[in-house]
Structure formats: C-alpha cells, structure tokens
Amino acid sequence: MNIECADVVLEGRKILIVDDEPDLREVLSARFEMEGCEVSIAENGQAALALMKIDHFDVVISDIRMPGGNGLDLLKAIQTKRPTPAVILISGFSDIDESEILKNGASAILVKPFDLEDLVHAICRALGDNQFNHQELKC
C-alpha cells in the first residue's frame, strides 16, 4: 500500500531532488518512484533553477551546501515562483541555523543521515500546508 498521510497522496506528485552526491540523488529518486511520484534530479542550485524554468514541481528536496549554487540561494529564488513548491532542505552539516532557514520559507530541514520515512512525512506535511495555503490565497 502506498503512503498517504493527512489526506495527501504522493502518487503523481512532481518532485525535484537537488544534491551534488549522485548516489544520494539515485536512492532518493528510487524511494519516491516507489510511491508513484514523477522525479527529476539536478546536481546543484543553478541546474535546479534551469529545470524549474521549463517545469513546475510540487516539492523540491535540496542539499544546502553544494558547489555551483547552494540550497539557501535556491530556497530564496524559489520563494519568488508562483505557485511556490514546498522546499525541504537536507544537510550533512549539523551547524545550520534552522530558524533562519525556516523563516526563509523552507518547510523542513533534515540532517543526514536522516530516516527516509521522516522525509516522506515531511513532504506530506508540506504538501498539506501548501494545499491549505493555496486555498487561503483563493479566498
């Protein structure tokens, strides 16, 4: 049975994974493809923004520190896009200013090596919030 949490169905969702580590991109893709998501990958922030010009994504999962455009710059650039995808940041560094990052619009931050199911649930929560926000905007 595929994952459904708080009325959010992952199947068919478009997810963009941004990380400079090829093996991590591959394993995260595999996990969300298991849920029937449509997954795209990028190796840094610049490549991700280039993809976002031609496609819309429901969720962007991005590493924070990468060569060639880091996750924080990407997060700021994404906030100007409408509709705004949910952004989950991941990092191998634990010395990150979580409150500052959340203030800049990230839905969640996970420190590597995170539990994949925590990531799945963070996405469900973020998508739930985003749906709610969009409904609010319509009113």
Stretch that binds other proteins, among 8-16, 89-97, 101-109, 127-135 (CB under 8 A): 89-97
Cβ-based nearer residue to other proteins, 48 or 130: 48
Cβ-based nearer residue to other proteins, 112 or 134: 112
Rg of the chain in Å (alpha carbons): 14
Nearest-CA neighbor of 101 among 109, 90, 110, 113?
109
Query: Which position among 7, 80, 94, 136 is part of the footprint of other proteins (CB under 8 A)?
Result: 94
Q: How many of the chain's residues bind other proteins (CB under 8 A)? A: 26
Stretch that binds other proteins, among 47-55, 75-83, 106-114, 129-137 (CB under 8 A): 106-114
CA distance 104 to 50: 21
Inter-residue contact 109 to 91 (CB < 8 Å): yes
Inter-residue contact 20 to 66 (CB < 8 Å): yes
CB atoms < 10 A from the CB of 134, how many? 11
Does 20 bind other proteins (CB under 8 A)? Our answer is yes
DSSP bridge pairs for 9: 4
Does 28 bind other proteins (CB under 8 A)? Our answer is yes
Query: Which position among 54, 82, 115, 138 is part of the footprint of other proteins (CB under 8 A)?
Result: 115
CB of 116 to other proteins, least distance (A): 5
